[in-house]
Amino acid sequence: MSLDLQAYNYLKETVGGWTAPPPLAHLNGVLRVLTRWRQLRLVQTYQQRHGTIIWAGPFKGMDYIGNSAEGALMPRLLGSYESELHPHLRALADEGLDCVVDVGCAEGYYAVGLARMLPTITVHAHDIDAKAQAACRALAAKNGVADRVMVGGEFKPEDFNAFAGRRALVIVDAEGAEMDILRPDLGPGLAQLKILVETHDISRPGALAAMVERFSPTHDIIRVDQQYLPFEPPPWFQGLPHLDRLIALWEWRVTATPWLVMRPKAGWPARA
C-alpha cells in the first residue's frame, strides 16, 4: 500500500469517525503517517534536482537508491543522517583501518559509503535478509566498489575471531540483535576490534546496559546520542517552509537509539 493511500485510510478511519476529542495515541499516529507522507513529497523534490546523489556528509557524492530499504530516505540524501556519528567516522578513518565488518548492512548505506570514503579497505557486509544482500550488492556495483564490498548472510559471534590482529572496524545495527551478535564470551577476538553499535532498548530492553557491561573491561566507551550537527544543505533547501526543513531531517525514530563508540584499551596492532 502506498503511503498516500495509507495516510488517506488512516484519516478516514480515525478522524472521520471521531465524535469526541480523539485519544492521544490516535493523534500521534495521524501525525506520524502525515509527516512520513510529507517527507516523501520532499524526497521527490530533491530527486527532481539531484537524482539519487548524496549531497553532503562523509558519503557525499555516493549514488544512492530511489527508495530506502529501511527508514527515512531524505536525511540520507541530504547527508544529515545520523550526523552525530560523522565526527567519529572521520576520526576512525584517520586511525588506519584496513577493513570494516558491517553486520546488519541493509541496503548498504554504510558498507558502500565507507568503501567509497576509504578506497584501500575491504568491507565485509552481512545481513540475514536476502533482499538486503541483493540491494547491497547492487548499490556497491552502482558505485564502482563491488570488488571491495563482500556481501554475506548471517554473521555469528565466533566469526569475529577471524579479524583478530587486524585493524578492523565493526559496525552493528541489527534492531536488537546486537545482544546476540556482540558476544565477547563467544568471540574473544572482539577485544581487539573497534566497534560502533547502535543499541535498541526498544527491541531488546537492557541492550544498552548490556553492551556497556560486556565491553567495559576491554574497551573505552563513548555514548553518542542523536543530535543534528550543522551541514550545508542545497541552496533551494533554505527556501522551504521551516516545518518542511524540520520534516526533511526527521529519521523516523520512535525513541532514542544511542550509539556506542568503543575502542580497545590495548590499542590496535601495528600496521603491517
Q: What is the pLDDT of residue 127?
A: 97
User: 3-state SS of the chain: helix, strand, coil percent to 5?
Assistant: 45, 15, 45
Q: What is the pLDDT of residue 67?
A: 78
Hey, what CATH topology would domain 74-264 get?
A: Rossmann fold (3.40.50)
Q: What is the pLDDT of residue 17?
A: 57
- CA 264 to chain centroid: 23
Residues of the chain with pLDDT under 70: 1-25, 68-70, 270-272
| 261: three-class secondary structure by DSSP | strand
The owner of cell 539531484 is 50
pTM over 0.85: yes
